[in-house]
Structure 1
């Protein structure tokens, strides 16, 4: 059990570099998400994390959101599930499709292969069943996509762990339990 409370720092309580990032997030999103603000406890963490998160990838935005959502579901992160339901809708998913992904599947066969492999890798700490890997490649994904998938899983797992440990307030509409 955590005995130290993790507060969400305000702009005034973070480094000058993080204050600039807070200002940019405020302009782009209309607010600074609590989990990002929590990263700002580290003088360099927020800048480093955002650079990693926003790096170019071979996966589409829709594929990235599917991976973010299933990884957050597997890691039982209420904050990231909530955020990625909103972002998933912004990237064209319906409520039904998002529910499917949270259950580890998709009616789109290519997306299903991606979601199944992402869930398998997350559940098994980097190991995966050969059948899921084979299906991933059979559906047209490449070695580059596999590397980018693993990098995306690591990005989302870090945020899942941060929220699961700190329990900072969720500032998105709360994901319904499934």
Structure 2
């Protein structure tokens, strides 16, 4: 059971309602995570600030963004985000099998993407630390320093949502991600 209410666009506090309406329009409804974020205007404003910055200034395609979200969600063991981003990832061009592989850390199907995912996984696992070998492997795979810097914004927004879901115990309102089987 969630620790805080899931607001609707009508019940959201004054400082949150406009942002919640924008998110509801974007996703076709109020998702539980957004309805809970709306309980605190500062939480939904912080989240929207990061996603707006990524939308305005980011260079990654949807497939790359969703792959990063899946990798970070798996590191953080966030069932909600793994489920939501499995759904979004398949819409962005990943197969369901690829979404599972990314969550397991078996992303050999795309060497360049896999190099980026190793960077964000390592950063998520090691409180932002990334080994020089991992960083340099991503550069060698074709990612630029600018793109690796941008990846931090994607890491941050996904850790924000993963931790928020754990913090308030968000209930799943999207189809669950496929179970990970032992390799």
| TM-score with structure 1 setting the length | 0.90
- CA distance in 2 between counterparts of 1:73 and 1:124 reads 14
Equivalent-residue separation in structure 1 for 2:130 and 2:179 (angstroms): 26
Q: Could you say which residue in structure 2 is the equivalent of 1:177?
A: 179
Alignment of 1:1-12 (within 5 A): 5-12=3-10
What CA RMSD, in Å, does the superposition of the two structures yield over aligned residues?
1.8
| Distance (Å, rounded) in 1 between the aligned partners of 2:21 and 2:177 | 27
Kept in 1: contact 2:66–2:89 (CA 8 A): yes
Dislocated runs of 4+, deviation >4 Å = none
- Aligned residue in 2 for 1:60: 61
- Name the structure 2 match of 1:74: 75
Could you tell me the TM-score, scaled by structure 2's length? 0.88
- TM-superposed CA distance for 1:32, in Å, is 0.9
Unaligned residue ranges in structure 2 (runs of 5+): none
Q: Aligned equivalents of 1:124 and 1:27: distance in 2?
A: 36
Partners of 2:9 and 2:30 within 8 A in 1:
no
1:89-116 deviation digits (Å, cap 9, x = unpaired): 1101001111111112321110110111
| Pair 1:124–1:44, CA change in 2 (3 A) | closer
Stretch of structure 1 that moved more, 146-155 or 77-86: 146-155
Are the equivalent residues in 1 in contact too, given 2:69–2:155 (CA < 8 A)?
A: yes
